[in-house]
Structure 1
Amino acid sequence: MEYTALGNTGLYVSRLCLGTMNFGEGPMTPVIGGLSEKEVKRLVDRAFDTGINFFDTANAYTMGESEVLLGKAIGTRREEAVIATKVNHPMANDVNSLGTSRKAVMREVEGSLRRLGTDYIDLYQTHAWDATTPLEETLSAFDALVRSGKVRYIGVSNFTGWQIAKAYGICEARGFQKFVSAQSYYSLVGRELEFEVLPALNDLGMGLMVWSPLASGFLSGKYSGKGTEAGRRAAISFPPVDPERGDRVVEVLMEIAAEHDASAAQIALAWLLHQPGVSSVIIGARKIEHFEDNVQSVGIKLSQDQLSRLNAVSQPDIPFPFLDLSLQRRQTLEEQFAKLGN
C-alpha cells in the first residue's frame, strides 16, 4: 500500500479508502447489496491486512447501521484507522433533522460518535451543500467541533469549485478551521471536476477523495456494448455515462489491461491514482474477490503513452470558460516574437 498526506495536513491516508455504503441493510440494499456483520468484519480485516487505514462512511448510510458495523469491525484498532463520516441527510422526522445547521451538526456528530463507538472522528464532512443554512453557521459549527476535540479534521463532499472557494475564504477571514479535503465523483467517464473543482482544490492545497471511481461498475467492462442500462445501472443509472464515449473508453481500458495482465477495473483505478491532486480513491466491494482485484491497482504504473491514450479517449468537450486561454495567449506571443525576430 502507498500513503499520502491528506491535503495540507500531517494526516497520512492510504491511497485506497474502503467505502462502506453497502454495510448493513437499507433503502439502497436492492441496488448496491447489503453486507452482514460477518461479511463486514471479513472485509475490514482484509483491508487492514493490505495496508488500508482509511474508511469512509456517513450517518445516512443504511440509516446509521453502516457506522455501527464499521465501528465494531475496527474494534481495538481504532488508533490505526482514519475514520471519515458525513452529515447532511435527515436521520429523524423532525424539520430540523436535515442539513448542516448548528443544531443538526451538533446532534448528528453525537449520533455518529455513539454508533462508531469512538470519542473522536478523524474527518467530518458535510455531505452536500446546504442552501437553506447560512454558510457561516455551518462553518462555525464545524470549527467548534474541531476545537472541542470531537473532530480532528473537516471536509466537504459534492461541492462545486465556487462553493469550496467561498467556504475557504470565510474560514480565513473568520479564523475558523479550514476544510482540508473534498470528496467528489471522478472517473474516466466523468472528468468534469477537472474544469473547476480540481483546480480549486490544488490552488487551496486541499486533498481529493474520489467516489464511484468505476462509475457504478461501468468501467469494469461488464456493461461494454450494452449501453448503461444493465446490471446495477439498470436499477439506478448514476453517475450518468455517455454510452458511446463510455464504450470507447472501456475498449482502450481493455487493451491496456491486457498489456499489464490486469483487469479493466484495475487500470481505471490506476489512472485515477496517477492524477495530480488525488489523495485517495474510495473502493466499495460486495465480494471479497472484487476487493482483492481493486487493491492491486496501487501497484500498477502506467506509461506516459498509456496515460495519453486514456486521456485522449476520455477527454470531455471543454466549455468556453475553461479553455486554456493563457496557453493560447502564450502561443500567440511566441508567434509574434518569432515574426519580430525575422
Structure 2
Amino acid sequence: MIHTQLGRTGLRVSRLALGTVNFGGRVEEPEAHDLLDHALDQGINLIDTANIYGWRVYKGHTEEVIGRWLAGQPARRDQVVVTTKVGDPMGEGPNDHGLSARNIVASCEASLRRLGTDWIDIYQMHHLDRTVGWDEVWQAMDLLVTQGKVRYVGSSNFAGWDIAAAQEAARARNSLGLVTEQCAYNLVTRHTELEVIPAARAYGLGLYAWSPLHGGLLSGVLGKMATHSAVKSAQGRALEALDTQHDTIAAYEKLCADHGLDPAVVGMAWTLSRPGVTGVVIGPRTRRHIDGGIEALTTTLPPALLTELDTLFPPLGKGGPAPDAWLT
C-alpha cells in the first residue's frame, strides 16, 4: 500500500480510503467487518464514514458497525485514521442538522459514542451551511480540537471559494483550518479541476475523490449489464448518466479492452494520477473491489491512453484551472 502525507499536515494516510457508505442495507455487518479486516491487512489505514451513513437501516448505524469492529481488537484504533462527517439531518428537530456550534459539538459527541472512541482523526463538514458564519464554525471546531476529541478538520463538497473563505477565517483565529477536501471527481465529473483542486492545492489541503467510478458507470457497466452482473452500476447516478452517455461509455469500455485493462482499474488509476489528488474513496461491497483499487494504485496509464481518455471525456473549456480554462 502506498501511504502519503495528508496535505500540509504530518499525518500519513493510504491513498485508498475505505468508504463505508454501503455498510448497512447493502453490506451486512459480518461482511463489513471482513472488508475492514481485509483493507487493514492490505495497508489501507483511512476509514471514511459519516454520521448519516447506514440510513437504509437507521442513521448512525454505520458508525456503530465500525465501532464494534474497533472494539473487537482495541489495538486497531491506533492503526487506523477514522474520519466522519457532520451536517446532514440526524433528526426532525430544528437544531438536528447544519453547522451551528450546537450541532457540531452535539454531533461529535454522538459520533464518538457510536464509534466507541475517544477521538475522531478528521472531522469533516459534509456540506457547506450558508446560514452559519465561519467564526461560529471555527469556534466549535477549535473547542473540539482543544478538548482532544478531534485531531483535524476537513470539508466535503465545498466550492473553491468556500475553501478560501474557511481558510482565511481560520487564519484570522490562528487556527490550522481545513486539512482535507473530499469531492466528487472522475472522468465524467471534471468541474473540480476548475476551482476546487486549485484552491485545495493553494491552501495545502489533501484531496480525496469520492465516486471515482461515477457510481459504477466507469466500472464496465455495459459489459456487466450484458451478463446480468451489474449491481450498483445499474442504478442511481450511473444509470442516469448512461441515458446520455451510452455511446461514450461503450467507446470507453472498448478502449480499455484494446489496452487489456479493466475499466474500473482505468477509471481509478486516471483519478489517482491527477495533479493535486491525494487519493480516492472506494465504497467496496466485496474483497475484490478492494483488490481492484489496489491494482489501480500500481497501474500507470500510458500517455496514448490518457490522450484518448481526454478525447472521450474532455475537460471543461481548455482544461486546467480557472480562469485560464476559458480565456480566449
Fold equivalence (TM over 0.5): yes
Counterpart Cα distance in 1 of 2:18 and 2:250:
24
Aligned residue runs from structure 1 range 95-134, under 5 A: 95-134=94-133
Aligned residue runs from structure 1 range 220-239, under 5 A: 220-223=219-222, 232=232, 235-237=235-237
Contact preservation (8 Å) 1:224, 1:247: no
Counterpart Cα distance in 1 of 2:233 and 2:167:
36
| Distance change in 2, residues 1:200/1:250 (3 Å) | farther
Counterpart Cα distance in 2 of 1:325 and 1:158:
21
SS at match of 1:86: strand
Shift of 1:289: 2.4
**TM-score, normalised to structure 2's length?**
0.88
Contact preservation (8 Å) 1:189, 1:242: no
**Which shows bigger deviation, 49-58 or 169-178?**
169-178
The Cα RMSD (Å) is 2.5
Shift of 1:89: 1.2
SS at match of 1:72: helix
Residue from 66, 72, 82 that aligns with 2:68: 72
Aligned residue runs from structure 1 range 212-291, under 5 A: 212-223=211-222, 232=232, 235-237=235-237, 241=241, 243-245=243-245, 247-248=247-248, 251-252=251-252, 254-256=254-256, 258-259=258-259, 261-291=260-290
Counterpart Cα distance in 2 of 1:206 and 1:11:
12
**1:19 aligned partner:** 19
- Letter matched to residue 175 of structure 1: N
Counterpart Cα distance in 2 of 1:305 and 1:206:
30
SS at match of 2:214: coil
Shift of 1:324: 1.8
SS at match of 2:146: helix
Counterpart Cα distance in 2 of 1:143 and 1:253:
47
**2:149 aligned partner:** 150
1:175-203 deviation per Cα after TM superposition (whole angstroms, max 9, x unaligned): 22310010000001101110111111111
Counterpart Cα distance in 2 of 1:143 and 1:250:
49
SS at match of 1:139: helix
Counterpart Cα distance in 2 of 1:257 and 1:279:
27
| Distance change in 2, residues 1:217/1:238 (3 Å) | closer
- Letter matched to residue 64 of structure 1: G
Counterpart Cα distance in 1 of 2:303 and 2:256:
12
Unaligned runs of at least 5 residues, structure 1: 329-342
Counterpart Cα distance in 2 of 1:19 and 1:78:
17
| Distance change in 2, residues 1:325/1:179 (3 Å) | closer
Counterpart Cα distance in 2 of 1:254 and 1:70:
39
- Letter matched to residue 6 of structure 1: L
- Letter matched to residue 61 of structure 2: E
Shift of 1:73: 2.0
1:179-232 deviation per Cα after TM superposition (whole angstroms, max 9, x unaligned): 001000000110111011111111111110111111010001213798xxx864
Aligned length: 316
Task: Name the structure where helix makes up a greater proportion of residues.
Answer: 1
Unaligned runs of at least 5 residues, structure 2: none
| Distance change in 2, residues 1:291/1:254 (3 Å) | farther
Query: What is the percent sequence identity of the aligned residues?
Result: 40
Counterpart Cα distance in 1 of 2:61 and 2:142:
27
SS at match of 1:142: helix
Larger Rg: 1
1:65-94 deviation per Cα after TM superposition (whole angstroms, max 9, x unaligned): 111111222342110100010000122222
**1:337 aligned partner:** none
Counterpart Cα distance in 1 of 2:137 and 2:28:
34
**1:10 aligned partner:** 10
